[in-house]
Chains A and B, each alone.
Chain A
Amino acid sequence: MMEQAFFLILATLAVGAALSVIIQRSPLYSAFSLIGVFACLAGTYIMLKAQFLGAIQMIVYAGAIMVLFVFVIMLLNIRKEETALDKYRYLWLLSIPFAATLIVEVLYTILKVTSDFTSLPEMAKRPEVGDSQSIGYGLYTGYLMPFELTSILILLAIVGSVILARREKD
């Protein structure tokens, strides 16, 4: 009962904030709405007993990545969205197939999961799945390869950004 109430509150806030991200004309308001979305998602993770994921969501997305977004917006000091964007109105047409694909994907997943609960991976059914120990264990056993590949990808991105920043200077 309590859980459902909290879920409803968080879900409503998340959807509202997500709508606000795309509706707001000021980029800074959009960025802060996005932080709201991340915070609500973190709350949802915690309710699913994945506190570790919730905390990481706040630290990495809401705390670090969004600070960079806000930093850039403030540095460029954009007050309102440029009206020049009206030139790209044809992009509006593109959004329809993309949105349709996304909705179909989500519906498919929901139908599949609810119709056949046993198809969930073994890990997801255990209650302690969200704590730091089981995530660490998973990362260094079953998911070692993707984990290491991701870290190499991030390293490449760092090196790439340093090289790009250097080239700008010359």
Chain B
Amino acid sequence: MDIYKLIEWVVKIGIVFLIFMHALAYIVLLERRLLGFIQMRLGPNRVGPFGLLQPLADGIKFFFKEEIIPRDADRTLYIIAPVVALVPALTTIAVIPFGDTVNLFGRQIELSITRVDISMLVILALTSMGVYGIVLAGWSSNNKYSLMGGLRSSAQMISYELSLSLAIVGVVIFSGSLDLVQIAKEQMGTWGGIIPKWNIFTQPIGFTLFLISVIAETNRVPFDLPEAETELVAGFHTEYSSMKFAIFFIAEYANMVTASAMATLLFLGGWHGPYVEKFPLLGPVYFTMKILFFLVLYIWLRGTLPRFRYDQLMKFGWKFMIPVALANVVLVAALALFLY
């Protein structure tokens, strides 16, 4: 194998991993500060300038906390569970493209760790593995609140995965590809020089469905039933402490980033923006900005909306989301048939 290719891969994985992990830590800070702003308080602002060293302090604190494993817990599964939650959450970043091919150091470098022609499906496959972490944690803790959290989570994930996939089908029909790079490239250019050719304008229903389902898939407010603290103490991670709890936390935020990246690539044109054809290195900048938009939206929702009741959640998923998503697929397929 080409030795330069190998070096390129290692460097790309290293850079992406470092940025990703740091970003996760700072999203938590962003969330706490923004929530503070929404709730008219300050939020953490004592560690470092503007509280910028807070993530570091949090990390150190997590490492030094006492680790407790309940006596009647299933030890093996209890320890494996956080790993099962984290690994798929971090692996998905490998197939996400954050820019076009650029010319660096005399080499053509693709701005993604790896490119597969079915990257969309790879992400879906990996994210569907993430639920097992939560389910295992809930079951192995031997605690009824944890078990309820795990059960709710698995039911919720199956229900909303359907509408999520159906919303994606619409985009796939329009782009004719399961490759995220190809899907993003299809959204290049503008209509009349003003409106960008993003899928959000051609498929507003699909976008809305996708956004709602993806928030449910990542267990965030208003769909954070698996850890509803007013009724389940802390849900599936009630018994977890120290770094094991932190791993669940990281996994949740990694899933949020993946979901935002997917929304960006599928509906907001990925890395496309003004002048990106001339300067391909602008791509990752636009991409990050769009992801940030979705992350702020997540936090904004958390500060604004109350939680669903469990039966409302199920009814909404099965009796509203899935029928609308099916109708959307039929509509998009018909449009695609007549337009192309």
Q: Which residues of A contact B (CB under 8 A)?
A: 28-29, 32, 35, 42, 51-52, 55-56, 58-59, 62-64, 67-68, 70-71, 74-75, 77, 131-132
Contacts and interface: CB of A to CB of B under 8 A. Distances in A.
B174 to A, nearest CB: 16
Given A55-B118, A64-B158, A74-B147, A32 B132 contact: yes
A62 B128 contact: yes
Contacts of A75: 151
Contacts of A77: 147
Counting chain A CB atoms within 10 Å of each CB, the highest count among B117, B121, B131, B150 belongs to: B121
A63 B128 contact: yes
Chain A at the B interface: SS class:
helix
28 contacts: A28-B139, A32-B136, A42-B125, A51-B117, A52-B118, A55-B118, A55-B125, A58-B126, A58-B129, A59-B124, A62-B125, A62-B128, A63-B125, A63-B131, A64-B158, A64-B161, A67-B128, A67-B135, A67-B154, A67-B158, A70-B135, A71-B151, A71-B154, A71-B155, A74-B139, A74-B147, A77-B147, A131-B117
A71 B155 CA distance: 8
Interface string B185-227: 0000000000000000000000000000000000000000000
A166 to B, nearest CB: 15
B146 to A, nearest CB: 11
B270 interface: no
A55 B121 contact: yes
A91 to B, nearest CB: 28
B122 A55 contact: yes
Q: How large is the interface on B (under 10, 10 to 19, 20 to 34, 35 or more residues)?
A: 20 to 34
Q: Which 6 A-B pairs have the closest CB atoms?
A: A63-B128, A58-B125, A55-B121, A59-B125, A71-B154, A55-B125
Counting chain B CB atoms within 10 Å of each CB, the highest count among A63, A131, A132 belongs to: A63
Contacts of A42: 125
A88 to B, nearest CB: 26
Given A74-B138, A74-B150, A62 B129 contact: yes
Contact of B132 (A29, A56, A64, A70): A70
A52 B151 contact: no
A63 B122 CA distance: 12
A42 B126 CA distance: 12
A32 B140 CA distance: 13
Nearest to B155: A71
Counting chain A CB atoms within 10 Å of each CB, the highest count among B128, B136, B150 belongs to: B128
B178 interface: yes
A58 B138 contact: no
A58 B128 contact: yes
B116 interface: yes
